[in-house]
Chains A and B, each alone.
Chain A
Amino acid sequence: MSAFEFSHIPLDTQALQASLQDPGSGGYASFEGWVRDVNEGRQVKHLEYEAYEALAKKEGQRIVEDAIARFRVRGARCVHRVGDLRLGELAVWVGVSAPHRGEAFAACRHIIDEIKHRVPIWKKEHYVDGDSGWVNCERCAAPTLDASNQAHDHTHDHTHDHTHPHPHDAKQHAPSGASHQPLAPDYSRQITLADVGIDGQRRIRAARVLVIGAGGLGAPVLSYLAGAGVGVLGVIDGDQLDASNLHRQTLYSLHDVGRPKALLAAERLRALNPDVDVRPYVQRAETDTLPAIAADFDVLIDCSDNFSTRFLVNDVAVGLGKKAVIASVYQYEGQIQVLQPGSACLRCVWPTATRDGLVGNCAEVGVLGPVPGVLGAMQALEALKIILQTSSPAENAVVLFDLQTLQTRRLKATRSVDCPAHCAVNNAPASDAPDTRLSQDNSPEIATLALAQARGLIIIDLRDDQEVTGAPLHVAHHHIPLARLLDDSSALNTTSGYLLVCAKGMRSSAAVSTLRQRGHHNTYSLVGGVVGLGAVNKESTR
């Protein structure tokens, strides 16, 4: 017999009362909550109760056990119904047995109030007019709205023994802090929303979100998603906390300066919500590491502070067919864009103008803390919309916010046919292309190393020995000079895909065309070669 239980069948109150009988008790009080026909002016036909049972049961047990100790009663129990209930049916029962009536009444009242405030139980009301809605049970906690209160006073009329505490004494002496705080996450405020509900909460729980950057944008994104109960939350950041971060990066404290932000964020988020599996990555998001990390997640959120990372996140999202939310700020302005498979991506909008240094970042041009705060909060909201499968105006668009004038502007964007990120996906074999709506023109070029890695291509450096020594390409799996590869292509098998890289993309392009004629259709050339990568690398380390 547990102190708090759920029941899928009608309650047997006589048996419940009998379970609390004991010779030391002089009184017994019970409370019964019934299904009422009216709530907030609407006629109710019947009700459905749902609970997040694993969590709710633990919390309910804690409440009852705490009440037994605090009010020094001899026994207490609570049983809550779940499932479909008719009007007038018993929804919740609380029983308390105690030496005296005072403690019994007080403990009973305390238990039902705490259950209604703290235990995640929701009811769906079906109204007479055919409509229905989820209601957080805390709303029924106001005493005047309570269904019914049946107090059975079995007190023997004996002299009050003052060695027992009065119930009001017990209340006065009760610790006012910890025992009143919810000890388990409570998602009731969001579950009450029609767009969330129990199903939505399950989706949030099942979601795996990777946040790239734990700075001004990342702080609100991480806080809100942890609070919402996202199942797995990854955070990538290679930086250590600097005192100049604190005006906008609200996850951290001054005494944390110098420590890795990814670890600090993970500590804070685990404290915020122990339900969330937080996975910190103390590293910068790089072309050779991000695809493997991102493969484990469903939604990528770009909260970085530089173009190289932002475009890398875009390319990996497009390459792996992941959803993404990309945002950035400049002084009082922000831009936000949501990527769904098949929608316009960052490169569809900005195919060429993408070098760091052209337009300043927060360190260079300054920013007020709330600006990334607002945009980050929006990113968290967009991520939740993605998880809840709600459409967003930030898809196929860039939404601009001027927070000085509070003006918003939505600029419609379309998928570009020349988009380098999408073209690279188009060229991949049809069988594992993430978006089957993409055309399959099998063009032989790939725009970035990240895309090749996202596609699982084996990278072959075609340059000669001297060139490789001068500018090594560390991500290459093999070094096979062009002449040797064309002389003997037996190193290539037909089941793998290959990305060929040379200095500028000329030799690799020629090699791909020759190899494809020989039947190696899954070979690609890196546009711009190592020289093109060099420009990117210089930017990313500036």
Chain B
Amino acid sequence: MTTIHVQYYAILREQAGKSAETIQTQTKTAAALYDELAKRYPFSLGRSQLRVAVDDEFCDWDAHLVDGCHVVFIPPVAGG
């Protein structure tokens, strides 16, 4: 099990009902983590409509997750 700090932005925050949480997971990649979380929360956006950042850097969905890392899921927003 690895410990991951997760942060949600915009519509994901609303759908998760929280802006951040620390979770225990067996998933190894950002994609697998999102898919796991999508079973828990009613996320309306697929991975292709989002970006993920690990430790404050945008990365690909196959990015490897390490214990204690910080993962941000973020959609683009349009309001102005």
Chain A: residues with CB nearer than 8 A to chain B?
213, 215-218, 302-307, 310, 327-331, 333-335, 349-350, 352-356, 358-362, 365, 367, 372, 398, 400, 402, 404-405, 409-414
Contacts and interface: CB of A to CB of B under 8 A. Distances in A.
B9 A400 contact: yes
B72 A409 contact: yes
Given A329-B80, A333-B9, A359-B10, A400 B58 contact: no
B53 A352 contact: no
B57 A349 contact: no
Which of B19, B56, B80 has the largest count of A CB atoms less than 10 A from its CB? B80
Nearest to A372: B80
A409 B56 contact: yes
Given A350-B51, A352-B49, A359-B11, A330 B77 contact: yes
A330 B78 CA distance: 7
Given A350-B51, A359-B10, A412 B79 contact: no
B49 A358 contact: yes
Contact of B77 (A213, A328, A404, A409): A328
Contacts of B76: 307, 328, 335, 349-350, 353-354, 359
Given A307-B76, A411-B58, 12 more contacts: A304-B78, A305-B78, A305-B80, A330-B78, A333-B10, A335-B77, A353-B50, A354-B76, A360-B79, A365-B11, A372-B80, A411-B56
Interface of B: 7, 9-11, 13-14, 19, 45, 48-51, 53, 56-58, 72, 74-80
- Most chain A beta-carbon neighbours within 10 Å: one of B7, B48, B58, B76: B76
Given A331-B10, A409-B7, A410-B56, A362 B50 contact: no
B80 A353 contact: no
Interface of B is mostly: mixed
A29 B45 CA distance: 78
Contacts of A303: 80
B14 to A, nearest CB: 8
B39 to A, nearest CB: 21
Contact of A411 (B10, B45, B50, B53): B53
Contacts of B11: 330, 359-360, 365
B45 A330 contact: no
18 contacts: A217-B80, A304-B78, A328-B78, A329-B80, A330-B9, A333-B10, A333-B13, A349-B76, A350-B51, A359-B10, A359-B11, A361-B79, A362-B79, A372-B79, A400-B74, A412-B56, A413-B58, A414-B58
A407 to B, nearest CB: 8
Contact of B78 (A306, A410, A412, A413): A306
Nearest to A328: B77
A362 B79 CA distance: 5
A333 to B, nearest CB: 6
A353 B72 contact: no
